Structure 1
Amino acid sequence: MPIPDLIGIQTRSYARFLQAEVPPDKRKKEGLEALLREMFPIESYDGNLALHYIDYELGKPRYTPDECRELRLTYGRPLRVRLRLTRKDSDEIQEDLIYLGDMPIMIGGGEFIVNGAERVIVSQLHRSPGVDFIKTQAEGDRALHSCRIIPERGSWVEIEVTKKDVLGVRIDQSGKLPATMFLRAMDEKYSRDEDIIEEFYRTKQIRASQLEPDMYLATEVVDPETGELLVRAGCQVGDAVERIQELGVKNLRIISSVTDPLILNTLAEDSSHSRDEALLKIYTRLRPGNPPQLDKAKKLFAEKFFDENRYRLGKVGRFRLNRKFELANESRSMTLTTEDVVNCLRYLLKLRTGESAFAVDDIDHLGNRRLRTLDELCADEMRKGFLKLRRTVQERMSMKDPDQIGRVAELINSKSISSAIELFFGRGELSQVVDQTNPLSQLTHERRLSALGPGGLNRKRAGFEVRDVHISHYGRICPIETPEGTNIGLIASLSIYSMVDDFGFLITPYRKVRGSGKLGDVTYLRADEEMREVLAPPDAVDPATGCLAEGPLIVRRHGELGQATRDQVTYVDISPKQTVGVSASLIPFLEHDDANRALMGSNMQRQAVPLLKVEPPLVGTGMESAVAQNSGMVVRARTTGTVTFVDAKRIVIDETDEYVLRKFQGLNERTCMNQKPLVRPGQKVKAGQIIADGPATCNGELALGKNLLVGFMTFDGHNFEDAIIISERLVRDDALTSIHIDEHEVQVRETKLGREEFTADIPNVSERALANLDEDGIVRIGTKVRAGDILVGKVSPKSKSELTPEEKLLHAIFGRAGEDVKNDSLELPAGEEGIVIGA
């Protein structure tokens, strides 16, 4: 199977978010389109005015990427939204195209130019919305379980078994409530105790004469004369047997068998007896200072769990709930339903029985963790901006007379949206300056996963389990590549073939095994789907026949290693390098390395600076060309055609398709971007072919180091510990020489004593020191400079004393020349030398 698009995780998610190339009427309801549809229409408080969303368009960028780098601007395209204002009291309709801000454009790989620097948005690995069942602690011979219903947006609901053997519910961080009280509040259907008992227990009808003290009643018994409650539903009859029989009741409904009294214990703790009572008690717990009122209680509960704007499970949360409870008629509700709560309670009851079909969830399993990619992270940040915009629009609608609103633009303040975009791309926790030391470091940065960030883990509180390598990482997350410091295990990297599905779960490819061990089509599996299969490694395939080998095979089943026959195997791995990431896959004979040394090697490859004289490795792994192609530092042909013009700065294909090469430009890590053409005039090229090398690439292959002949020996103690001795020839031939580009700045200020100036006329400086400055005092391009050399001549006015008449005359004739100034020139710092390439 060919290597997939290694930066597709970035490019696909942003294309899905913007849908820039899709006509407005054909856009899917996802990304920016879904966000705008969710936020509009905006109605005024009195309902008279309504602002509707029609569509949006993205204009052309004002500047080129190189201009943005030089002027420290953001490379983006203007986002304009078409809005329509309608009035109920008249047929008047106003429509306008409103500018909301600039959406950054993705360049090369997955990076953006924000304020002149290239940045990347790192994908976030977080706990998936849905339901999780966990074992909290063991109490004697019985374990205590709990479950959390985690929405995409809104209040968390935690249901747990307490030490008193009662089901308690927490809403966010509130105190515990009986679970039956929460169930009553959810639906009128469970308002009475009898309704709840019928749901969770089997009941049967018996004659009153058959009643015994240890039986549990499924209905309450009330004395009709006095109105006294003799036995509450769910309680044992006890001493009330005779009194019940004296009432003349013929038949009674009892609970057939009470294997687990958990629900009955919870009912006994529940002080509410109807839905209204339950709502009021929940309201007093959530709003302790407010006097309880039924209408307010109903409104609060509805807002917390039934309003999609405030509580939303999301498609992932709903998918996981349906999958967990194996619902035949899959619910599509994006809010919490009564059926969901009942299913959670049933599952908790089953967990207590210890049945093998019901198990607690492993929260570190990739079936329960998902990836928040660029589109989702950006939509979340922009949603905050749109909520501010909505409030502003509603306030302006209420303050202005509808007849005085001339244009829709008068209601809109686009600052809230543009500042949200700027905050996310420029200063967000997951927005990082791209590591551009070499092509590999840039590529791996764009494929990085972080468990930190907004709504994620805290590196100080994250334990060992969440950092550890997990069986579900196989083929999805690289088990080797991770930092060595406090972020170990919290920052990870995608495996080579790993992709993201529609729900944000990581998937990896396998070949389906058909009859007689024949291999079928490639299928992508999620981590939870994989647990149900029997998976063989790639070396189980016989190269001669292309089928699975006969005899016992080593396989993975339910996350454990074991043996199976050919007929039992359902899938086969796609490649031996499927388990590792890009960086680790560049290490030859990786399987013979110690894991800790391989981790160091993976990380240190990213620190290799591009050499002046590059050469591909003699011993490679076959991944070198794939890394170079996907890095974004090389130039690839957009179209198939014939090269018509080539020089050091420009390549033209078929007269019209022009590629301007980047020459000696500084990158984020001070390394040098210098692209060199690989094609000749008249040469035919295919779309996607590399036509120009970048830094640390040679003929379209990654070339990070040097093929040196080394001796492993002592040398008079000079190479003690980790010291290395190199020959003079390596230095003389520039074999290990690299180019670094430093930028030095100086500013001219207006001081109290006057204005500072750039000039070549600097007092008390020799002619030799000024020889390389032009008439404006700026060093000439091409000059070789050393530490202490003047780069920019600058003078500042000194403190003035009272001028004599002679000095005044000199100033009047010669201007600044006669003035007393001090030297404030910009000099090259100590330890640096080089050639000036731009000023």
Structure 2
Amino acid sequence: MKQHSLEFNMTKFLVLFFFNNMFFIFYKFLFFFPDFLNVQRKSFRNFIKNDFIFEFSKIKKIVNSKKLNLKFLYENFKFLSPIFNIEESILLSKTYCSNFYIPVISQINRLKYIFNYFSNSTELKWILVGTLPLLTRRGHFIINGTIRIVINQILRSPGLYVYKERRKNENTKRLYYADLISQRGAWLRVEIDKDKKLWLSTKSESRIPFFEFLKNIGFKQKFIIEYFSIDLIDIKTKKKKSLKNNKFLYQTFFNPLTYSLGFIGRKRLNNKFDLLISPKVLKLTPLDFLAIGDYLIQLTNNLGSFDDIDHLKNRRIRTIGDLILNQFQQGLIRFRNLVFGKQIKKNKKINLNNLLDFQPINSAFRELFVGSQLSQFLDQTNPLAELTHKRRFSALGSGGVNRETAGFEIRGIHPTHYGRICPIETPEGHNAGLVNSITMTTQINDDGFLETPYRLIYKSQIQDHKNPLFLTAEYEESRLIVLSDIPVCKFKFLKNKNLPILFNQDFQKFKVKEINFISVSSLQYISLATALIPFIEHDDANRALMGSNMQRQAIPLISLEQPLITTYAAKCLLQNSKVIPICKRSGFIIYSSNKKISCYSFLNFYKFQCRNSFLIKIFLNKSINFRKKNYSNIKTTLKKKKTILKIEI
């Protein structure tokens, strides 16, 4: 009876608490700041589950001169548990990694000269493909006993970018050119001169007549004249030079093994020119060149628009998973070329372990984690320095910009950075503006573009009961957005009739009924280190930059004191740093220290402990009274128990 009455009282308490605080629960805690280390974990998890299998599916079968036939059963790959755990890897100066295996079916064809027939020998064996360093729970790697991280990289997204040539003499006709950037492969440029002649060029090749190149890739001369409305004289060029260069370009840009636009590059090309090419076709097609030439000719008639390279819709983030995937692709290409060069002797016994040498994959991983500019030693001065180092991204590195030649346009603040990249926190010196931090609420979508949250506004009322929407910079351009610090009435209606609105990268005044979105919080425009500064709106921007950088240099104290003035970001920092014990269940705190937290949970009626040890012995012999205002007293008595909880850290 006592147990049933206790359960009834607890249920009554929870129901009353829920209905009396419904407004507080649904409206105040609907949006939480995301996990600050989710960027690393999400990208690394996506690489292991999806990208790893997809890359092996490209080379699922290799045939070597009709003698060696290899088939990879890539869907059955297996990762083994690490030999050393995290603590042992640091103490023994080892790498915290995992070996991954894949089953391979090999079929070798030999010609028997005595009996004059073919004999096939088939073998199935698990082969060690390579060793992959693993990401820890705190978002870093352990390489040879040292803690390292791979920071994210921001660079131009694959696709086509159209520019206007800057000329000193304004009386001359303007020249336009289009740069085609790929995910893997050579760089290509198509340009038009003042006589409306199109040229195609690369870094290694000189200018080639564009119309002659179209003829060599399959278009007829009559079709080119009718499509571009040009004369026959414009097509006649020197054939020897153009044919030689076009043969080189055909092997370079139409070969899927050496050139790839990527899914993002193909998607952007289709959207820009309204093409219906399949997203699975990652190489260039003749229709792409036809659309590029037509777009450049339309620019001479004042039709079309130019691209802003600093706009965040044209720049994407290469996360840890993308960087590891890039190295894995290079390793697989080297391995494939190595297998093609293997020679099989007539009567010698074949050993698959000696034949399939996956050392190029391990060397490709080593180039990233040891020799890359993006792989750095983790800054462990304090928890803030550790967390901000992991949320940083750089424009340097392979495929990025050069620090010596980078100008003010790349280093400056673009209007699309608003809500996505912190305008304050950046290093001082040569890396100023090239190394930045993402804001507190920024997320990275599957394509690598930055998103920031907004709440929907319907008929000048804020829709707090709906989840916030994460918008990219491209989608945000055509929307009317208002800041969150405007006056709002009790029923969430906007008070003022005319408000300053962010529209088309500028602040303008619009009527309330035309507004589409409102920002979630005033903290979504600055980074974590900047949000720790109290009353930052009263500081000069240069002083705030110094303050955000100097906080990372503070040494932790032995005897701690609670600050008199703090911000909400301090709580988020402690929760996401993973350096203190955190109770993952709600309830009443019985005991807490810097090593463990004892919590009594209402919902599950059991003692929950969180402690940094492998085995915990708990002895309970207490009577606990809970009292809530306006509710009946709830008295529970815990009998003597002896329990052992085993917690895996």
TM band (smaller chain): 0.7 to 0.9
The 1-side partners of 2:555 and 2:186 are apart by 49
Answer whether contact 2:583 2:597 (CA < 8 A) is retained.
no
Give the corresponding residue for 1:395. Answer: 341
Q: Percent identity?
A: 32
Distance 1:498 1:595 in 2: 21
1:411 aligns with 2:355: yes
Aligned CA-pair RMSD: 3.1
Flag the 1:33–1:467 CA change in 2: closer, same or farther, 3 A: same
Aligned residue runs from structure 1 range 475-554, under 5 A? 475-519=419-463, 520-540=466-486, 542-554=488-500
Which ranges of structure 2 fall in alignment gaps of 5 or more residues? Answer: 1-30, 110-117, 600-605, 623-649
**Residues 137, 145 of structure 1: 8 Å contact kept:** no
Shift in Å, 1:572: 1.4
Letter in 2 for 1:342: L
Q: Is the 8 Å Cα contact of residues 128 and 370 (structure 1) preserved in structure 2?
A: yes
In structure 1, what is the Cα distance between the partners aligned to 2:322 and 2:140?
A: 17
| Cα distance in 1 for residues equivalent to 2:618 and 2:297 | 74
Which structure has the bigger radius of gyration? 1
Give the residue type in structure 1 aligned to 2:145.
G
Paired residue for 2:86?
A: 65
Q: CA deviation at 1:640?
A: 8.6
1:58 and 1:602 mapped to 2: Cα distance? Answer: 41
Judged with a 3 Å threshold, the aligned counterparts in structure 2 of structure 1 residues 550 and 185 are, in CA distance, closer, same or farther, namely farther
> Which residue does the alignment assign to 1:234?
231
How far does residue 550 in structure 1 lie from its aligned partner after superposition?
4.1
Aligned pair 1:198/2:219, yes or no? no
More displaced stretch, 44-53 vs 8-17? 44-53
Say which SS state the counterpart of residue 147 (structure 2) adopts.
strand
Q: Which moved more, 1:61-70 or 1:486-495?
A: 61-70
Which residue identity is paired with 2:212?
M
- Correspondence 1:396-795 to 2 at 5 A: 396=342, 398-401=343-346, 404-519=348-463, 520-540=466-486, 542-636=488-582, 659-660=611-612
Q: Which residue, out of 124, 138, 145, partners 1:95?
A: 124
Counterpart Cα distance in 2 of 1:395 and 1:354: 54
Q: Which residue of 2 aligns with 1:8?
A: 38
Contact 2:47 2:321 in 1 (8 A): yes
Secondary structure of the 2:313 match is coil
Partner deviation per Cα, 1:552-597 (whole Å, 9 max, x = no partner)? 0110111011011122112211111111111111111111111111
Aligned position for 1:284: 244
Higher mean C-alpha displacement, 77-86 vs 468-477: 77-86
* SS of 2:456 mapped into structure 1: strand
1:467 CA drift (Å): 0.5
What pairs up with 1:119-134 in 2 under 5 angstroms?
A: 119-134=148-163
1:392 and 1:656, CA in 2 relative to 1: closer, same or farther beyond 3 A? Answer: farther
1:116 is the counterpart of 2:64 = no
Distance 1:630 1:609, change over 3 A: same
Which amino acid counterpart does residue 200 of structure 1 have in structure 2?
F
CA distance in 1, matches of 2:593, 2:517: 51
* 8 Å Cα contact 1:517/1:566 also seen in 2: no
| CA distance, structure 1, for counterparts of residue 431 and residue 538 of structure 2 | 26
Q: Is the 8 A contact 1:478 1:581 kept in 2?
A: yes
Deviation at 1:144, TM superposition (A): 1.5
Aligned residue identity for 2:567: T
Q: Secondary structure at the match of 2:161?
A: strand
Change (3 A) 1:435 1:74: same
Q: 1:359 to 1:647 in 2, by over 3 A?
A: closer
Q: Which amino acid aligns with 2:231?
A: G
Could you tell me which residue of structure 2 aligns to residue 156 of structure 1? 187
Q: Cα offset for 1:350?
A: 2.6
Distance across 2 between alignment mates of 1:462 and 1:557: 29
TM alignment of 1:258-277, pairs within 5 A: 268=234, 270-271=236-237
* C-alpha contact (below 8 Å) 1:132/1:149 kept by paired residues: yes
Q: CA–CA distance in 2 between the matches of 1:348 and 1:643?
A: 68
CA distance in 1, matches of 2:408, 2:301: 30
Q: Equivalent residue for 1:354?
A: 302
Picking from 188, 192, 201, the partner of 1:170 is 201
Q: Which residue of 2 aligns with 1:84?
A: 105
Match for 2:244: what amino acid?
A: T
Moved more, 112-121 or 336-345: 336-345
Distance across 2 between alignment mates of 1:644 and 1:91: 72
2:212 to 181, 202, 210: 181
Shift in Å, 1:327: 4.0
- Provide the C-alpha distance between the structure 1 equivalents of 2:34 and 2:595, rounded to a whole number of angstroms: 31
Conserved? CA contact 2:212–2:235, under 8 Å? no
Q: CA deviation at 1:657?
A: 8.6
In the TM superposition, residue 545 of structure 1 has moved relative to its aligned partner by 1.8
Instruction: Tell me the equivalent position of 1:834.
Output: none
In the alignment, is the contact (CA less than 8 A) between 2:209 and 2:242 conserved in 1?
A: no
Which runs of structure 2 are paired with 1:803-818 in the superposition (5 Å)?
none
**Partner Cα separation in structure 2 for residue 501 and residue 270 of structure 1:** 48
* Distance in 1 between residues matched to 2:618 and 2:608, nearest whole Å: 16
How far is 1:331 from its partner? Answer: 5.7
Task: Tell me how far 1:405 sits from its aligned partner.
Answer: 4.5
Q: 1:487 & 1:440 partners in 2: Cα distance? A: 20
Equivalent pair of 2:533/2:567 in contact (CA under 8 Å): yes
Q: Structure 2 CA distance, aligned partners of 1:381 and 1:332?
A: 21
Contact 2:482 2:501 in 1 (8 A): yes
C-alpha contact 2:460 2:515 (8 A) present in aligned 1: no
Give the distance between the partners of 1:424 and 1:103, measured in 2 at CA. Answer: 11
Q: By how many angstroms is 1:521 displaced?
A: 4.0
Report how many residues are paired: 572
Out of 51, 55, 70, which is 2:71 matched to?
A: 51
Contact 2:196-2:297 at 8 Å conserved across structures: no
The answer to whether the 8 Å contact 2:455/2:462 transfers is no
Amino acid at match of 2:136: I
Is residue 344 from structure 1 mapped to residue 303 from structure 2 by the alignment?
no
Alpha-carbon separation, structure 1, partners of 2:83 and 2:144: 14
Deviation string 1:109-139 (CA, Å, 9 cap, x unpaired) is: 2111111111111000011110001111245
TM value normalised by structure 1: 0.64
**Partner residue in 1 for 2:270:** 322
| Cα 1:521–1:642 shift into 2, 3 Å | closer
The SS at the match of 2:34 is: coil
- In the alignment, structure 1 residue 335 sits paired with structure 2 residue 332: no
What is residue 35 of structure 1 aligned with on the other side?
55
Q: CA deviation at 1:445?
A: 0.5
Taking the aligned partners of 2:561 and 2:593, their CA distance within structure 1 comes to 22
Cα separation, 1, equivalents of 2:453 and 2:65: 53
* 1:62 positional shift: 1.3
Distance 1:67 1:81 in 2: 27
Structure 2 residue aligned with 1:745:
none
Q: Which has the higher contact order (CA 8 A, sep 6+)?
A: 2
Aligned to 1:137, what secondary structure does the other structure show? Answer: coil
- Relative to structure 1, is the Cα distance of residues 550 and 331 closer, same or farther in structure 2, using a 3 angstrom cutoff? same
CA distance in 1, matches of 2:481, 2:215: 46
SS state at 1:549 partner: coil
